[in-house]
Amino acid sequence: MDSDIKLIHAIIRYCETIEEAMERFGNDIDDFLDDKHYQASCSFCIDQIGENIKKLSSELRNKHPETDWKGLMGMRDVIAHGYHKIDLEELWITMTEEIPALKVVCGSILNEV
């Protein structure tokens, strides 16, 4: 469980980095689509979030089925193995919908322990 807690803390930090990027670069999809540095910054964070999720115990992931763990790991795989194939609009949806929800779940996991 200690390793899961460390991973959850790392996931939260990457979620917060995405939030900070959105504050810095803009909260609009057009800002995101027009800025390769914005895209690269957030892609890296989602890659790292997915990598950390893969290391979480299956017990922890199974306790929280409300989170699309598999989808986030899949997004990581797309970023890591085929960057030129990334659907930027799908990435934006991940950033604006799935990442905030993931941060909430991770916060509740920390509150449980």
List the catalytic residue out of 13, 61, 64, 81: 81
DSSP string, 72-96: HHHHHHHHHH-GGG--HHHHHHIII
Residue 61 among the catalytic residues:
no
B/e letters for 29-45, b = 16+ CB within 10 Å, e = fewer, are eeebeeeeebbebbbeb
List the catalytic residue out of 13, 24, 64, 76: 76
Residue numbers annotated as active site? 76, 81
